[in-house]
Amino acid sequence: MARHFISTSARQMALVLLVSLLAQTAAQAQGRAGRGPPPTGEAAAPVDLTGYWVSLVTQDWIFRMVTPRRGDYSDVPLNAAGIQIMDAWDPAKDVAAGEQCKSYGAPAIMRVPERLHITWQDKQTMKMQTDAGEQTRLFHFVRSDADPGAKSLQGYSFALWQIQRKSADTGGGRASRPAGPPVWGNLKVMTNNLTAGYLRKNGIPYSDNAKLTEYYDLLPQIGGEQLMMVTSSVTDPTYLTKVFIVNSNFKKESSASGWEPSPCSATW
């Protein structure tokens, strides 16, 4: 009887292990199938940034809405070389050289009073157009190893979603594990391959060594309005003594009625 019991028990245990292994294999297969190819930038978007947005100029008004005074670099961590360049600012010379858009480059463009039009150019490329200065920025969601080409005012931007998901509590004081659908998120954009330009209209310079990191955050609806905060962080070993960080606010607009393209200006 004892032998029979042991034999039965062993068979049961073997069956249990088999079921368990099958369940594990099925779960892994399900995980692989669930993973599949990574979603495109458009499909993975945890928030919708597309549409028309207008600048809310409530900070640094005197440096953004009018042309700042010659030699005024309040708040900007310029080094001595940068001050020298700023002091030599000559907008007429910029215009003559066809460089009237130097204050509309990627490190400065979000501070320009303007409207943005954000769309998907394709499933892996977000397009941002500005009415002020008629600039176009492209945010690439696939990092390319190809030569990014010549440096430009808007440079090359690589974008990724920082997705926040529900998490499963793994217990025991261990870190929780993200799972489930996205609940929120933000866009991180890293830009390089820039030509030199101005952080402000009065010739405060950044060099072609500058790099820009931005975070696009949708804020909760306030007073029935959708706001977007853009945090821009500029590093430039040539002209800045430290990282330069500013926040710019935008309000969602329901239509293109305020869209008013205007060319770059070196003086206004």
Residues 6 or more apart whose Cβ sits within 8 Å of residue 18: none
* Closest to other proteins by CB, 97 or 168: 168
Residues 116-135 that bind other proteins (CB under 8 A): 132
Q: Is 223 in the site for other proteins (CB under 8 A)?
A: yes
Q: To the nearest 10°, report the CA torsion of 131, 226, 212, 259.
A: 0
End-to-end CA distance of the chain: give it in Å, rounded.
Answer: 99
Q: Does 94 bind other proteins (CB under 8 A)?
A: no
Shortest distance in whole angstroms from residue 51 CB to other proteins: 17
Taking the C-alpha atoms of 234, 238, 239 and 240 in order, what is their torsion angle to the nearest 10 degrees?
Answer: 50
User: 159 Cβ partners below 8 Å, 6+ apart?
Assistant: 41, 126, 139, 140, 141, 187, 188, 189, 190
178 neighbors 162 (Cβ within 8 angstroms): no
Stretch that binds other proteins, among 13-21, 35-43, 138-146, 152-160 (CB under 8 A): 13-21
Quote the least distance from Cβ 210 to other proteins, whole Å: 15
Q: Which amino acid is residue 233, in one-letter code?
A: S
Q: How many residues bind other proteins (CB under 8 A)?
A: 83
Q: Which of 260, 252, 257, 265 has the alpha carbon at shortest distance from 131? A: 260
- Site for other proteins (CB under 8 A): which residue of 119, 164, 261, 263? 164
Residue 96 binds other proteins (CB under 8 A): no
Q: Which of residues 141-160 bind other proteins (CB under 8 A)?
A: none
The pattern of x and - marking residues 165 through 194 that bind other proteins according to CB under 8 A reads xxxxxxx----xxxxx--xxxx-x------
The answer to whether the beta carbons of residues 170 and 178 sit under 8 Å apart is: no
Residue with structure tokens 């606010």?
249
Letters for 22-61 (x = contact with other proteins by CB under 8 A, - = none) are -xx-xx--xx----------------------xxxxxxxx
Residue from 217, 235, 238, 252 in contact with other proteins (CB under 8 A): 217
Given the complex with other proteins, which of 104 and 244 has the nearer CB atom?
A: 244
Tell which positions 227-266 bind other proteins, by CB under 8 A: 227, 229, 231, 233, 243-249, 258, 260
Member of 7, 17, 38, 261 binding other proteins (CB under 8 A): 17
Q: Which residues contact 149 (CB under 8 A, 6 or more apart)?
A: 156, 193
